[in-house]
Amino acid sequence: MLRDVTLGRFYDNDSVLRRLDPRTKLLGLIIAVFGIFLCSSIVSCSFTLVCVIALMYLSEVPLRHILRGMRPFFILLAAVAALNIFFVHDGIFRAALICLRVLEVILVSNLLCLSTRPRAVANGVETALSWMKRFKVPLHDFATIVSIALTFVPLLADEAKRIWDAQISRGADYSKGSVFRRAKASLSIIVPVFVSAMRRSEDLAVAMDCRLYGCSEPTRLHPLSYSYEDAAAYICIFTYLCIVILMKAGRL
pLDDT tens per residue across span 197-218 = 888 888 888 888 887 777 777 7
d(CA 238, CA 246): 12
* Residues sharing a CB contact under 8 Å with residue 14, sequence separation 6 or more, in sequence order: 60
pLDDT band at 189 (very low <50, low <70, confident <90, very high): confident
**If you average pLDDT over every residue of the chain, what do you get?**
83
Kindly report the number of other CB atoms within 10 A of residue 100's CB atom. Answer: 18
pLDDT tops 70 at residue 252: no
When comparing pLDDT for 217 and 168, which is higher? Answer: 168
More confident residue, 236 or 143: 236
pTM over 0.75: yes
Provide the pLDDT confidence category of residue 240 given band limits of 50, 70 and 90: very high
